[in-house]
């Protein structure tokens, strides 16, 4: 759970050795602490073509309280920002860089043809060296599948090549994301901007996020520090590890948490719930009557607002050596159970309008893994479930999304043999494993009432792990 190498590589002697040997140099990642500003430093803004998001960005930055700067090729930012009541200035110019910044935000929604791609070049060429450690790159575009012309779709899809390359190039704990905003969904960006530009997204990199029209009613939290105030949030598998971290972050965000785990984990489960002022439910969610029991519990509680399907198990063997009941067990707990609970809770109205379902997939479900056919089937199925349920649940005002963790430091990963563990830890753009809180922060972003524009998304929390296919 403790990665001693990070401390070593950042100690005076360790740093020398690491440099001399060309070893990976993981930087301790900045993580969110309540009370901190959303972004600790200036934000440099750029754009290409006729960018469509500037007004929405300016008002979001104004509410965030960010200090922005205009790249010389986006001079109009100054007036847009001023109109929004945002303090702003100009950055560099004539080939000279300006001050160091914490984030690079590029509005690429105006690009309609690949011949305009030099707009990307100028902004990132000029600014790449001016990004502070643990910096943020966010490129906004239009969903290629909704573009009016193939030329526009091609340049918009091309943005993914840029952000994924920058994620690998920037190093020093910085990350890079691509956010596709559907036409008309410009006002839905704020929760995503706040998440991505802040240390909450520490271990999320090279992701592609789609924001669309709001599902149900978009709500602006009265207090962005407590967006889940008054919301009842069920977290399964909450007795330890990632589940306990999720419950904790949910409570920090203001939620009333309902912590669920198997009866054998009753004691640590109740300890977690007690600490967070929440409830505990000890039950086996894989059982046939579990969905109805949850519906009853939710209804008795006046309905719940968020379900986090964190509970999951592994039973690893090559397919030739695997026993049938371990295949069935894993697929049932990790996939079929989630399907049954979602359908029961949504159709019974036990998950209220404005509800959020957040599932946990896995890099193994995306890329496959040796010895994990059962697990990968279940976790790939979660992706399918999320994508297929999104349009259906939206009629109930409910979103459904998934996180797909990569190498996260837990008791489970601590038990992995050293060499394999080290490979998992280092083979990503952060040269380190993630923390359970990184998964939890991502889930909290999906769970926010302000994230009504986000459904059917699968976001990896993997530090841009090399592993993908």
Q: Is 399 in the site for a copy of itself (CB under 8 A)?
A: no
Active-site residue flag, 375:
yes
| Identity of the residue, 56 or 120, whose beta carbon is nearer to a copy of itself in the bound complex | 120
Q: Is 469 in the site for a copy of itself (CB under 8 A)?
A: yes
Q: How far is the CB of 388 from a copy of itself (least distance, A)?
A: 3
Instruction: Specify the stretch interacting with a copy of itself by CB under 8 A; choose among 144-152, 218-226, 258-266, 287-295.
Output: 144-152
Pairing of strands 399-405, 351-360: parallel
Cβ proximity of 128 and 110 under 8 Å: no
Q: Is 55 in the site for a copy of itself (CB under 8 A)?
A: no
Outline where 301-372 has alpha helix (H).
324-331, 337-347, 363-367
Instruction: State which of residues 4, 34, 222, 324 lies at the interface with a copy of itself (CB under 8 A).
Output: 324
Give me the sign of the Cα torsion angle 399, 456, 358, 346.
positive
Residues 338-357 that bind a copy of itself (CB under 8 A): 339
Short-list 253, 142, 233, CA closest to 191: 253
Q: Count CB-CB contacts under 10 A for residue 326.
A: 15
Instruction: Specify the stretch interacting with a copy of itself by CB under 8 A; choose among 34-42, 80-88, 292-300, 316-324.
Output: 316-324
Instruction: State which of residues 16, 328, 347, 395 lies at the interface with a copy of itself (CB under 8 A).
Output: 328
Q: Is 27 in the site for a copy of itself (CB under 8 A)?
A: no
| Identity of the residue, 137 or 350, whose beta carbon is nearer to a copy of itself in the bound complex | 137
Short-list 49, 85, 52, CA closest to 67: 85
Catalytic residue among 5, 180, 203, 375: 375
Q: Is 464 in the site for a copy of itself (CB under 8 A)?
A: yes
| Identity of the residue, 229 or 331, whose beta carbon is nearer to a copy of itself in the bound complex | 331
Residues 367-386 that bind a copy of itself (CB under 8 A): 367-385
Instruction: State which of residues 1, 87, 392, 420 lies at the interface with a copy of itself (CB under 8 A).
Output: 392
Pairing of strands 232-236, 256-261: parallel
Short-list 403, 353, 401, CA closest to 218: 353
Q: Count CB-CB contacts under 10 A for residue 354.
A: 19
Give me the sign of the Cα torsion angle 345, 346, 348, 350.
positive
| Identity of the residue, 10 or 336, whose beta carbon is nearer to a copy of itself in the bound complex | 336
Residues 167-186 that bind a copy of itself (CB under 8 A): 167-169
Strands (E), 155-222: 175-181, 208-211
Instruction: State which of residues 331, 349, 397, 416 lies at the interface with a copy of itself (CB under 8 A).
Output: 331
| Identity of the residue, 59 or 394, whose beta carbon is nearer to a copy of itself in the bound complex | 394
Residues 205-234 that bind a copy of itself (CB under 8 A): 206
Q: Is 71 in the site for a copy of itself (CB under 8 A)?
A: no
Q: Is 332 in the site for a copy of itself (CB under 8 A)?
A: yes
Outline where 348-426 has alpha helix (H).
363-367, 373-393, 411-414, 418-426
Q: What does the per-residue mask of binding to a copy of itself show for 259-298, with x meaning CB under 8 A?
A: ----------------------------------------
Q: Is 420 in the site for a copy of itself (CB under 8 A)?
A: no
Structure tokens at 224: 């962005």
Applying CB under 8 A, the site for a copy of itself has a residue count of 83
Short-list 311, 138, 137, 140, CA closest to 210: 140
Instruction: Specify the stretch interacting with a copy of itself by CB under 8 A; choose among 12-20, 34-42, 85-93, 312-320.
Output: 312-320
Residues 74-133 that bind a copy of itself (CB under 8 A): 113-115, 117-118, 120-122, 124-125, 128-129
Short-list 13, 34, 49, CA closest to 140: 49
| Identity of the residue, 216 or 365, whose beta carbon is nearer to a copy of itself in the bound complex | 365
Q: Is 467 in the site for a copy of itself (CB under 8 A)?
A: yes
Cβ proximity of 439 and 243 under 8 Å: no
Cβ proximity of 307 and 360 under 8 Å: no
Strands (E), 71-166: 88-90, 101-110, 131-141
Q: Count CB-CB contacts under 10 A for residue 264.
A: 11
Q: Count CB-CB contacts under 10 A for residue 284.
A: 17
Tell me the catalytic residues: 375
């Amino acid at each position: 759970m403790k990665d001693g190498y990070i401390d070593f590589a950042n100690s005076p002697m360790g740093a020398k050795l690491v440099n001399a040997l060309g070893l990976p140099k993981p930087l301790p990642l900045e993580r969110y602490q309540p009370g901190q500003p959303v972004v600790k430093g200036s934000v440099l803004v750029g754009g290409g073509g006729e960018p469509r998001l500037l007004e929405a960005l300016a008002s979001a930055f104004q509410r965030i309280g960010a200090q922005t700067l205009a790249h010389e090729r986006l001079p109009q930012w100054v007036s847009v920002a001023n109109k929004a009541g945002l303090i702003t200035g100009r950055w560099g110019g004539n080939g000279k860089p300006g001050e160091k910044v914490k984030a690079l935000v590029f509005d690429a929604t105006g690009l309609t043809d690949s011949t305009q791609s030099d707009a990307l070049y100028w902004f990132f060429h000029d600014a790449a060296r001016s990004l502070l450690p643990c910096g943020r790159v966010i490129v906004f575009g239009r969903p290629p599948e909704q573009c009016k012309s193939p030329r526009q779709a091609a340049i918009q899809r091309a943005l993914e090549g840029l952000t994924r390359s920058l994620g690998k190039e920037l190093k020093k704990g910085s990350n890079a994301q691509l956010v596709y905003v559907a036409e008309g969904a410009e006002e839905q960006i704020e929760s995503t901007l706040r998440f991505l530009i802040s240390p909450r997204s520490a271990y999320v990199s090279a992701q592609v996020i789609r924001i669309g029209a709001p599902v149900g009613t978009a709500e602006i939290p009265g207090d962005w520090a407590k967006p889940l105030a008054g919301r009842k949030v069920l977290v399964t598998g909450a007795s330890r590890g990632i589940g306990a971290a999720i419950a904790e972050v949910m409570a920090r965000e203001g939620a009333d948490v309902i912590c669920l785990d198997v009866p054998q984990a009753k004691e640590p489960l109740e300890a977690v719930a007690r600490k967070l002022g929440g409830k505990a439910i000890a039950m086996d969610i894989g059982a046939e009557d579990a969905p109805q029991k949850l519906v009853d519990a939710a209804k008795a509680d006046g309905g719940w607002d968020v379900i986090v399907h964190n509970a999951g198990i592994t039973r690893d063997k090559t397919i030739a050596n695997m026993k049938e009941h371990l295949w069935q067990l894993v697929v049932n707990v990790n996939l079929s159970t989630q399907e049954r609970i979602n359908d029961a809770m949504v159709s019974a109205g036990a998950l209220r309008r404005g509800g959020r379902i957040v599932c946990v997939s896995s890099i193994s479900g995306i890329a496959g893994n040796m010895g994990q056919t059962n697990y990968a089937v279940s976790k790939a199925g979660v992706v399918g479930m999320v994508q297929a349920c999104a349009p259906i649940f939206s009629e109930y005002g409910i979103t459904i999304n998934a996180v797909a963790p990569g190498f996260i430091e837990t008791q489970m990963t601590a038990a992995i043999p050293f060499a394999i563990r080290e490979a998992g830890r280092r083979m990503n753009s952060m040269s380190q494993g993630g923390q359970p809180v990184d998964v939890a922060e991502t889930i909290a972003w999906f769970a926010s009432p302000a994230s009504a524009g986000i459904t059917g998304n699968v976001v990896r929390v993997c530090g841009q792990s090399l592993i993908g296919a």
